[in-house]
Amino acid sequence: MLDAEEHFPEPHRVVLRDPLTQLSEIQFKKLFRLTKQTFRYVLDRIRVHLDEPVKSTDLYPELMLLTALKFFGSGSYQQDIGYNYCLGISQSSVSRCIHKIIEVFNKQEVMDAFIKFPHTIPELNNIRRQLFLKHNIPGIIGCIDCTHVALFPPKINDPSFPEYLYINRKGYHSINVQLVTHLFILSKLYECIYLQTHLCCRCVMINWKL
């Protein structure tokens, strides 16, 4: 009879001296959903908020970000991610990486570096003018769309985050993630991909009154 709880051996930790050289551009993007250039950019932005390793068992900022990106991009179980051949860390380390990276991304100065929306009158007037010239719709400064990201359901009796709050109209657990853009002419590749994917969805246009 199998034990109720199986114990898995700790994965052998693989320390990549330079993770960006171990994989091709295609392999890297397939695993972590970012190009190497974008990964370097994000890492440079958040490195100041991550502790550099002191002990041999400490995780490098590069490995922490890679681990979190792998989790965000795949939605796989933490243990499966830890056993990935280019990560090689325990489930508990995966959990720490995810929580730390999320904590860093939620810092106001980090969010301000990645999430921007025009707020001055000249900027808003320029957006209105460009949207009118392109789509012939007056008084518009932005468009909004959403997508559901599936998640592992919380505990039913959780006092702060009860499970039923996360059941969407299709019957599975998710968080409704929102994208707002000020123009349909998007400058960043990931913004264009998102927009192309969701063009068929209902968009709510935001009116701005002076």
The predicted-structure confidence for 28-73, as pLDDT tens digits, reads as follows: 898 888 999 999 999 999 999 998 887 877 888 998 999 899 888 8
Q: Which of 110, 145, 173 is the last residue of a domain?
A: 110
Long-range contacts of range 177-180, CB-CB < 8 Å, 24 or more positions apart?
Answer: 177/146, 177/147, 177/148, 177/149, 178/144, 178/145, 178/146, 179/144, 179/145, 179/146, 179/147, 180/117, 180/142, 180/143, 180/144, 180/206
Residue 9 domain flag:
no
Residue 124 domain flag:
yes
Q: Which of 87, 110, 133 is the last residue of a domain?
A: 110
How high is the pLDDT of residue 82? 58
Residue 35 domain flag:
yes
How high is the pLDDT of residue 103? 95
pLDDT digit string (tens) for 73-126?
876 666 566 556 567 788 888 889 999 999 999 999 999 888 877 888 998 898
Same domain, 126 and 64: no
Q: Which of 110, 127, 162 is the last residue of a domain?
A: 110
Same domain, 102 and 158: no
Domains in the chain, number: 2
Q: Which of 167, 145, 170 is nearest to 156 (CA)?
A: 167
pLDDT digit string (tens) for 148-172?
888 878 888 888 888 888 999 889 9
- The per-residue DSSP string of 26-80 comes to HHHHHHHSS-HHHHHHHHHHHGGGSPPP-STTSPPHHHHHHHHHHHHHH---HHH
Same domain, 28 and 89: yes
Same domain, 26 and 83: yes
Residue 4 domain flag:
no
Same domain, 96 and 121: no
Same domain, 120 and 57: no
Same domain, 51 and 101: yes
DSSP H helices, the chain, are 19-22, 25-32, 36-46, 61-74, 78-82, 91-105, 108-114, 121-135, 189-198
Residue 13 domain flag:
no
How high is the pLDDT of residue 79? 59
Q: What is the pTM of this model?
A: 0.65
Dihedral of CA atoms 146, 147, 153, 154 in degrees, nearest 10, equals: -30
Same domain, 85 and 127: no
Same domain, 105 and 127: no
Domain around 79: 19-110
Same domain, 127 and 102: no
